[in-house]
Structure formats: structure tokens, C-alpha cells
A = this chain, B = another copy of it.
């Protein structure tokens, strides 16, 4: 039977795919968002019916993107992952970095344009400037968020179903 939670996880996968990322990464994020408490790779693999390789790869991807936190509970063999308070804040950070990264090579290219293409050079420089300013703006928004919520603590602080004994 498919519960509303399953539907949500499925949607998260589609959204991730829509955004040009791996579908499974979105599903894992959705799963951890629903669970709240840390979950091991084995649990993810079983719940989402994927290979452990995929679980490992995508969980680490989410960790790099800053959406998820790797935890090592005492008395637990395997690594576990837990969703952060504001998973999407990291998306913004990634976005800002990408915008800024796009601006640099553009501006560098423009510097090489000969004087016969001065107007093109100006256009490209405008373009790069826009990217840079937007990246600045993203980071401003991020700072505002961090000031409002404090830093990225685990969501719910493990208040829900911390016992790993449950098989399903």
C-alpha cells in the first residue's frame, strides 16, 4: 500500500530529477525528512528498494550539498544520515556558488575581446556583473536566514522514533 508519506517521497524524487539531479537523491532526502531521526544506509536501501551503492553515493551527494548530516550514534555499526533543519538553505548556497562561478569565466573571456568588439565586451561584462550581484544577493538572503534560525541543527533533535530496532 502506498501511504501519503510514500507519495511525498516519490514527489521529492521527481522534483530532484526535474532540477537535473539524481532521482534517488531526492527520494533519500524525502525519506529522511519523513523519518526525522537518523537512518542508516541499509535502512534507506530497504525502504526505497535501491542498492546500497546508490544509497551510499546519493547520501554522500546530499551531504556535500549540505542537505543532510552524517551522524555516528554510539553503539551503531553503520553510518547514519539525518536531515538538517533547513535542507534547502544548502541549495541556495550551491546556487550562489554556481552563479559566482559562472560569472568568472565570462568576465575573463570578455577581457580578451578585441576592440573591434567593444560593444560585445560590454554586454558580456554586464552579464557577468549580473551574475555576481545575484550571487551576492543570495548570500545576503542566506545570512538573514542563518540569523533567524541559528545554524543547521538536526531537525527535531532526534525527538522521534530514535529506536533502530523497528524492522519496518
Check if A45 is an interface residue, CB within 8 A of chain B: no
What is the CA–CA distance of A2 and B140 in the complex, to the nearest angstrom? Answer: 39
Contacts A7-B112, A11-B105 given; does A120 touch B33 at CB 8 Å: yes
Check if A53 is an interface residue, CB within 8 A of chain B: no
What is the CA–CA distance of A4 and B102 in the complex, to the nearest angstrom? Answer: 17
Chain A 117-147 interface 0/1 with B at a Cβ cutoff of 8 Å (1 = within): 1011001101100110010010001000000
- A117 to B15, Cβ gap below 8 A? no
Q: Choose among A19, A98, A123, A137 the residue with the greatest number of B CB atoms under 10 Å from its CB.
A: A123
Contacts of A15 in B (CB 8 A): 102, 105
Main secondary structure of the interface of A (DSSP, over half): helix
Q: Which of A16-44 touch B at CB < 8 Å?
A: 18-21, 33-36
B-binding residues in A (CB < 8 A): 4-5, 7-8, 11-12, 15, 18-21, 33-36, 83, 85-89, 92, 95, 98, 102, 105-106, 109-110, 112-114, 117, 119-120, 123-124, 126-127, 130-131, 134, 137, 141, 155-156, 159-160
Could you give 18 example pairs across A and B, Cβ below 8 Å? A4-B112, A5-B117, A5-B120, A7-B109, A8-B124, A11-B105, A11-B106, A12-B106, A19-B98, A33-B123, A33-B124, A34-B120, A88-B130, A88-B131, A89-B130, A119-B159, A120-B160, A123-B156
